[in-house]
Each structure stands twice: as C-alpha cells, then as structure tokens.
Structure 1
C-alpha cells in the first residue's frame, strides 16, 4: 500500500505556518513570528526551563534554538539566567513583555485551530490527535 502520511504532514506544517503568519500579521502582532510563538508557547506552559528542555519539547535543534533565543532576547521576550543548582545550565524565562502577549497568542491559536478543524466533529479531532501522538511516539 502506498502511503502519503509524511508528505501530508509536511504540507500541513508548511500551510499551517503560512496561515499562522497571515493571522499574526492580520492581528498586528509584530513582536514575534510563528516559530518564536512555538517557543513562547512551550515557555508559557512550562515556565523556567533549560534550552535542552525547549529543544526536546519543540523538536528544534539546539543550534537553531540558540540563534532564535538570541533574537528573542534582543526583542525583550526572554531572559537567560544561570541555574543556581547547576552553574552549567542556563534557564530560559519569559519577560513581562512576553507574558503580556500570551492573551493575543491564545486568541490567534484559537483562530488557527478553527481553520485546522473546520468540519471535524469532536470525536474525529480526538481520534486524529491520538493518531498523531502515536506517530510521534514511533518517531521518538
């Protein structure tokens, strides 16, 4: 059987990224872009965490993440502090500016989800997301 799952997921990722950028622009959000929003989301959900933890949760490579965090720090969205228990670790935290953006991010995420799931029942969404989780587990 010929399958298209990987191709379709890649296409969804690409189209979803474009849709997110469009909605950010439409809502006048210039403080962060889509990929930075992914990092902010992880930080809002997990608070003060290390770069390695962000990398694991976002699936972004440490090298990619480091340059993105540099940009986000210069934009005043995150701060880096040394872990008091382990001086080799740097803890990443959101700033007050980033915390103030969480409400608009949640609103935009809701808009994106409405587009993603238009025409789907709640049961279909649950089944679909469970299947995606299984794929992620297979890949990890």
Structure 2
C-alpha cells in the first residue's frame, strides 16, 4: 500500500516553521527564533537539564544545538553550569530574560494552535493528536535500534 504520510509530515513541518517565524515577526518577537523557541519550551518545562535532554525533547540534533546554544547564551537567554553530581555534564538554565519571554511564546503557540485546528471538532483534535503520538512512538522506537 502506497502512503503519503512521510511527505505530508515533512510539508506540515516546513509550513509550520515558516508560519511560526511570520507570527513571531508580526508580534515583534525578535528575542528568539522557532528552533530557539523549542529549546526555551523544554527549559520552561524543566530548567537545569543537560544538552542531551534538550536534544531528546526538542527533536534537535546535538550537533545543531551547539551553535544555537552558544548564540542563546550570548543573547542572554540561557546560562550553563557544571552538574554538581557529575562534573562531565553541563546543565542549561533559563535567564530571567528568557523566563519573561514565556508569554510571548505562549501567544505565538496559541495562534499556531488556532491555525492548526481551524475547522476541527474537539473529538477530531483528540483523535488526530492520538495518531501523532503513535507516529512519534513508532519513530522513537525505530531510532533506538
């Protein structure tokens, strides 16, 4: 059976990234871009985590994160500290400036959600998100092989 799921997901990601950047610009949010917003989102959920956790939860490769994190640190969004219990690990922390940007991110995220689900019923949203969760589980299982 021929399917188009992979192509459709790629198209959704490309459009999502483009529209997210447009909404950031429309709202005059220039402190972070889309990928940096994903990093901040992870840290807003749990501050003081290693880079590996950021990579796993944001879906960004560690190699991509290195440059982004340096830029974010230079722009006063994050700080780094050595893990007291494991000196080999560096933990990432939000700055006060980044904490104060959460409302901006939430506003952009809410607008994205409205765009995503326009014309969907609550039941359709729940079903759709359950399918996405299954796809994510399948991809994570496969990536661990």
| Distance of 1:115 and 1:139 partners within structure 2 | 25
1:108-128 deviation digits (Å, cap 9, x = unpaired): 100010001100011111111
Query: Normalised by the size of structure 2, how large is the TM-score?
Result: 0.94
Matched residue, 1:122:
122
Residue 46 of structure 1 deviates from its aligned partner by: 1.4
Point out where structure 2 has 5 or more consecutive residues left out of the alignment.
141-145
Pairing 1:12-27 to 2, within 5 Å after superposition = 12-27=12-27
User: Is it true that 1:77 corresponds to 2:73 in the alignment?
Assistant: no
Distance in 2 between the 1:132 and 1:118 partners? 17
Deviations 1:3-22 (A, max 9, x none): 10010000000001111000
In structure 2, distance between residues paired with 1:11 and 1:130: 20
Aligned match of 2:104: 104
Question: Match of 2:28, SS?
Answer: coil
**Misfit runs of 4+, over 3 Å:** none
> How many angstroms apart in 2 are the aligned matches of 1:75 and 1:9?
32
Q: CA RMSD in A?
A: 0.7
For residues 82-111 of structure 1, the C-alpha deviation after alignment (integer angstroms, 9 at most, x for no partner) is 001110000001100000000111011000
Aligned residues: 140
